[in-house]
Structure 1
Amino acid sequence: MSPAEKRTYQALEDRTKALSIALGFRDYSTLEHSDRVQILAAELGMAVGLSEGQLSALRISSKFHDIGKIGIPDRILMKPDKLDRDDWEVMQRHPEIGEKIVCSTELDGAQQTAHIIRHHHEHFDGSGYPDNIAGEDIPIGARIISIVDSYDAMAFTRPYHRGRRHTEIITLITQETGVKHDPYLLKHFCQIIETSPNRIP
Structure 2
Amino acid sequence: MLNGLFAEIDLRLNNYTPNDHEFDPSDERAFYKPDDSFFRLEALGVNLVFDIPVQRQDPYSLYINDVNSVSFTPGTRGGKALITIDLEDEGHEVIGNCVNNAFCFCGDPRVHLNDMKLDVLLSFGTRAGRLTITETVVKMSSTFEEEGPCHDNACAFACDLLAPNRENQAKEQIEQQVAAYFMNNRVIVETLFNQHIQSLGVTEDITSVLIGGSGDLILTVEYEDSCE
TM-score, normalization by structure 2: 0.28
TM-score, normalization by structure 1: 0.31
**Higher normalized strand content (fraction of residues):** 2
Larger relative contact order (C-alpha < 8 A, sep ≥ 6)? 1
Mark the structure with the bigger radius of gyration: 2
**Higher normalized helix content (fraction of residues):** 1
